């Protein structure tokens, strides 16, 4: 019998994005690690797929699981102010997915406090009312 490689469903992908947004908002995981997780998500990297499935098997919140995984060998970052960080990858994805220019994508992300999932939901909601 042929064994299928583990995959992420659309629900899993949204759950990963929400979990990364939670970690980004908390400011406890280095930005480089968050970027690494985003890159792994885009590539559907087997290690990230395994982490998502392991968190589900352990009935553990994915954000907490990723936090535990990412802070094993890395010092925890303590946020010092309320600045909004805009991720260039988030800008490029918004531009590609929704055909917006760079300034508009940045504005949406700033209004969403840098939270990529919130930005996508805001753009979707705005387009639904047009």
Residue 81 is predicted with a pLDDT of 52
pLDDT digits (tens, 9 = 90+) for 28-87: 888 888 888 998 888 888 888 888 998 899 899 999 988 888 867 544 444 545 556 778
DSSP string, 37-103: HHHHHHHT-HHHHHHHHHHHHTT--HHHHHHHHHTSSSPPPPP-S-PPP--HHHHHHHHHHH---HH
Same domain, 74 and 115: no
- Answer yes or no: do 72 and 108 share one domain: no
Judgement on whether residues 94 and 120 belong to the same structural domain of the protein: yes
Tokens of 106: 């940045």
* Same domain? 65 vs 92: no
Q: Are residues 85 and 72 part of one domain?
A: no
**Count of domains forming the chain:** 2
One domain, residues 73 and 86: no
Q: How confident is the model at residue 20 (pLDDT cuts 50, 70, 90)?
A: very high
- pLDDT at position 4: 43
- Centre a 10 Å sphere on the Cβ of residue 15 and count the other Cβ atoms it contains: 18
Q: What is the structure's pLDDT at 82?
A: 54
pLDDT in tens, 91-115: 888 888 888 888 888 888 888 888 8
Range of the structural domain that residue 45 is part of: 1-79
**Same domain, residue pair 1 and 12:** yes
CB atoms within 10 A of CB 16: 24
């Amino acid at each position: 019998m042929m064994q299928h490689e583990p995959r992420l469903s659309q629900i899993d992908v949204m759950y990963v994005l929400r979990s990364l947004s939670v970690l980004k908002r908390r400011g406890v995981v280095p930005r480089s690690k968050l970027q690494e997780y985003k890159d792994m998500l885009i590539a559907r990297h087997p290690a990230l797929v395994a982490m998502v499935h392991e968190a589900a098997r352990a009935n553990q919140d994915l954000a907490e699981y990723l936090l535990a995984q990412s802070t094993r060998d890395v010092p925890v970052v303590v946020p010092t102010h309320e600045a909004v960080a805009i991720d260039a990858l988030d800008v490029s994805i918004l531009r590609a997915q929704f055909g917006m220019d760079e300034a508009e994508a940045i504005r949406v992300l700033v209004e969403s406090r840098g939270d990529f999932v919130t930005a996508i939901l805001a753009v979707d909601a705005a387009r639904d009312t047009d």
